[in-house]
Amino acid sequence: MNRIPPTLILASASPRRKELLGQLGIAFQTITADVVEHEDPTTDPREMVSHNAALKADRIAERHPEAFVLGVDTTVFIDGITLNKPADGQEARAMLRQLSGRTHTVFTGLALRQKSSNLRIDEGVASQVTFKTLSEEIIETYLSKVHTLDKAGGYAIQEEGELIIERQEGPLSNIIGLPLDETKQILTRAGLLL
């Protein structure tokens, strides 16, 4: 008798995360977790992304106890504060000005849950990104080409990155929003990948 493979659910509405997870060659579905994320800019960024990833995974796992649920959260950290998604174009401009010519850290929290087996795996990943020095003209050009309001820090490294990024250290997929090596490791630990 054929065993039905376990369901993997990505608890995210992010098209970037969906595309990245698809690169691992595992079947999954996406369900958006309707949660209020913790976004206090003075919170330790590692704790914030870990909390929010777990919040998303736990919410969907409650509704789908047999499924494996992957929750993910990413933020940008500089000057002792987190830069989450900008509220509007003005805030996006301010974030790009703050990041201009400097190095910041991108933190991602990963949480894998299966309620029926009490599986709980949590991981954190960090990458460093250094921006070029940005003129107002470059900032306006960048914002005219990239929708930034759904992106932590007000930028997307994979979209027109050559305009704003000098270099990066650590996983590029983490900066985009889903660190692939670490995701593969936790899915392997859970028996979803060989």
User: What's the pLDDT score for residue 1?
Assistant: 46
Give CA–CA dist 54/45, Å, rounded. 14
Number of domain units in the chain: 1
Query: For residue 5, what pLDDT is reported?
Result: 60
pLDDT of res. 40: 85
Residue 194 in any domain: the answer is: no
- 33 lies in some domain: yes
Averaged pLDDT, groups of 10, the chain, 194 residues long: 72 93 95 88 92 97 96 96 94 97 98 97 98 98 94 94 96 96 97 87
Task: Kindly give the residue spans of alpha helices, DSSP state H, lying in 103-171.
Answer: 136-145, 161-164
- H/E segment holding residue 112: strand 103-114
Asked, for residue 64, whether it belongs to a domain, the answer is yes
Asked if 107 and 46 touch (Cβ cutoff 8 Å), the reply is yes
- Residue 194's pLDDT is 77
- Residue identified by tokens 């910041």 is 104
Choosing from 73, 88, 122, 181, the catalytic residue is: 73
Indicate whether 116 belongs to any domain.
yes
The CATH number given to whatever domain includes residue 95 is 3.90.950.10
**Helical segments of the chain, H only:** 15-22, 45-63, 89-99, 136-145, 161-164, 172-176, 180-189
How far is the C-alpha of 85 from the C-alpha of 98, rounded, in Å?
Answer: 14
pTM: 0.92
Structural domain boundaries, residue 124: 8-189
Is 73 tagged catalytic?
A: yes
